[in-house]
Amino acid sequence: MNKRINSPKLLAALGSATLAIGLLAGCTAGTGAGQSGTGNTAETQENASPASDPMTPSDVLSSTAWETTGAQDAEGEPVELSDKDVSNFVGNAYFHDDGTFSMYTLDGAPKMQGDWTVSADGKTRTIIAKDGSGAVQFTRDSDIVKLTGDEFTYRVFPDPEKTDVYFDIIHTPTGTPEPATS
């Protein structure tokens, strides 16, 4: 018993389903073995993001506590952390999700506190240092040289007018807990 289906609605639905399957097949054709539909591998890798959103530069900075572990000059040569041009930048830094930060010497003595931001492009970190009552002491923008889960390096210029003389302050994650505030 072979019945023939001749319903216009059913035929339209089957046609739409067939078209959708064909379009899906066309979208995925050629994407195996490193090929992309547009011929641009970088675009494919960029668009093939994981299910969760990638971390923003601010997320990376606030994801861990940071300890100053090195410094280098404009020629890439190591500079002692006790050097007068870098010693002021040495310590442990804690950047909190709420946009506040606190910094301490490597011995745990308080250095400064305040607010922080990182530009959306990850190129500049801004800190606004505040005293205990919340009054602004200074604002400092620093060029970010590298910001990953393994390293945070920013650049300082002893003389802002001489951009060929600078020091890169290198930080790595630390397990040192933030000292309790009194």
Q: Does 32 reside within a domain?
A: yes
Task: Using a cut of 0.75, tell me whether the model's pTM lies above it.
Answer: no
Predicted confidence (pLDDT) per residue in 23-76, tens digit: 333 333 333 333 333 333 223 233 434 456 789 999 999 999 999 999 999 999
Residues 101, 21 share a domain: no
Residues 138, 94 share a domain: yes
Residues 69, 115 share a domain: yes
Residues 23, 100 share a domain: no
Residues 113, 151 share a domain: yes
For residue 72, which amino acid is it? Q
Q: How far is Cα 99 from Cα 111, in angstroms, rounded to an integer?
A: 17
Per DSSP bridges, beta strands 152-156 and 136-147 are antiparallel
Phi-psi sector, 82: left (phi>0), alpha (psi -120 to 50), beta:
alpha
Residues 89, 31 share a domain: no
Predicted confidence (pLDDT) per residue in 67-122, tens digit: 999 999 999 999 999 999 999 999 999 999 999 999 999 999 999 999 999 999 99
Q: What's the CATH number where 153 sits?
A: 2.40.128.540
Q: How far is Cα 88 from Cα 103, in angstroms, rounded to an integer?
A: 11
Residues 98, 123 share a domain: yes
Residues 74, 21 share a domain: no
The residue to which tokens 């990953």 are assigned: 148
Q: Does 13 reside within a domain?
A: yes
Q: Does 22 reside within a domain?
A: yes
Domain span holding position 123: 57-174
Q: Does 179 reside within a domain?
A: no
Q: Does 36 reside within a domain?
A: yes
Residues 95, 162 share a domain: yes
Predicted confidence (pLDDT) per residue in 113-151, tens digit: 999 999 999 999 999 999 999 999 999 999 999 999 999
Q: Does 180 reside within a domain?
A: no
- Could you give the number of structural domains in the chain? 2
